[in-house]
């Protein structure tokens, strides 16, 4: 910088007042690490809750609880009556089970959504969800809430074709059989198996 430029710069800066520095506080590295770690976990939890794709109704307390002895039943249009009858009778073996006992509604919502999604993508068609009936009064109150949530949530998932309370040998009204729609991957695999070794039809000239 030339003398003229330096002089001009100093003239321009004469009205500038230096910022006051606030007193520095020494922070313990241990506390700083703990605070930053806690903040990171909180941010991750918020991010996970926003991006988990869970479409199930979040406010479980707003869902009507159901009596422990109430029979759950649901069938989408297109599901054959014979198929639903076999499901109701427990004639489809449950390939996977989820036990919601002692879970809060918030945890049950996350577990049920993940369970149904994973079962569907694995090509599993028949599963069982155990929500419980409850032996004591406190257990009955929680079970009735989880039962109401299970009934409500399963209806919200498109891959759920039908469900019905289980037979006594499988837990009775404390559990529910669930029939899932066949995944696109399984449909593709079945088509490939069906076409394997077959000669395409050629109508010819």
Q: What is the 3-state secondary structure (H, E, C) of the chain?
A: CCHHHHHHHHHHCCCCCCCCCCCCCCCCHHHHHHHHHHHHHHHHHHHHHHHCCCCCCCCHHHCCCCCCCCCCEEECCCCCHHHHHHHHCCCCCCCEEEECCCCCHHHHHHHHHHHHHHHHHCCCCEEEEECCCCCCHHHHHHHHHHHHHHHHHHHHCCCEEEEEECCHHHCHHHEEEEEECCCHHHHHHHHHHHHCCCCCCCCCC
pLDDT at 186: 72
The whole-angstrom separation of Cα 144 and Cα 60 is 12
Distance between alpha carbon 35 and the CA centroid of its chain, in Å?
Answer: 29
| Stated pTM of the model | 0.67
Residue 171, sorted as left (phi over 0), alpha (psi -120 to 50) or beta, turns out to be left
The residues near 67 (Cβ < 8 Å, ≥ 6 apart) are 144
pLDDT at 4: 58
pLDDT at 107: 95
186 lies in some domain: yes
The whole-angstrom separation of Cα 70 and Cα 53 is 30
CATH number at residue 182: 3.30.1370.110
Total residues found in the chain within this entry: 205
Which residue range forms the structural domain that includes residue 151?
67-190
201 lies in some domain: no
58 lies in some domain: no
38 lies in some domain: no
111 lies in some domain: yes
175 lies in some domain: yes
The whole-angstrom separation of Cα 180 and Cα 123 is 9
Parallel, antiparallel or unpaired: strands 96-99 and 126-130: parallel
CB 120 within 8 A of CB 88: no
Task: Report the domain count for the chain.
Answer: 1
The residues near 18 (Cβ < 8 Å, ≥ 6 apart) are none
39 lies in some domain: no
- Residue 141: which of 32, 31, 65 has the closest Cα? 65
31 lies in some domain: no
Q: How do the pLDDT tens digits run along the chain, 205 residues long?
A: 555 555 555 555 555 555 555 545 444 445 444 445 555 554 544 444 445 789 999 987 688 899 989 999 999 999 999 999 999 999 999 999 999 988 999 999 999 999 999 999 999 999 999 999 876 677 777 788 999 999 999 999 999 999 999 999 999 999 999 999 998 877 677 667 666 766 555 555 5
Q: Which two tokens stand for residue 196?
A: 């394997």
């Amino acid at each position: 910088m030339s003398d003229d430029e330096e002089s001009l710069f100093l003239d321009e800066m004469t009205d500038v007042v230096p910022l006051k520095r606030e007193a520095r506080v020494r922070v313990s590295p241990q506390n700083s690490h703990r605070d930053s770690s806690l903040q990171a976990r909180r941010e991750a939890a918020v991010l996970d809750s926003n991006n988990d794709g869970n479409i199930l109704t979040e406010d479980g307390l707003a869902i009507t609880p159901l009596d422990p002895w109430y029979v759950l039943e649901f069938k989408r249009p297109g599901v054959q009556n014979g198929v639903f009858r076999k499901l109701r009778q427990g004639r489809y073996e449950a390939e996977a089970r989820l036990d919601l006992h002692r879970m809060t509604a918030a945890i049950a919502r996350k577990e049920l959504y993940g369970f149904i999604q994973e079962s569907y993508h694995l090509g599993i068609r028949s599963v069982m969800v155990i929500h419980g009936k409850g032996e004591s009064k406190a257990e009955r109150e929680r079970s009735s809430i989880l039962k109401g949530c299970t009934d409500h949530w399963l209806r919200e998932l498109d891959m759920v074709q039908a469900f019905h309370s289980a037979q006594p040998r499988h837990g009775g009204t404390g559990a529910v059989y669930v029939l899932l729609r066949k995944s696109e991957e399984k449909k593709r695999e079945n088509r490939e198996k069906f076409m394997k070794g077959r000669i395409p039809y050629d109508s010819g000239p």
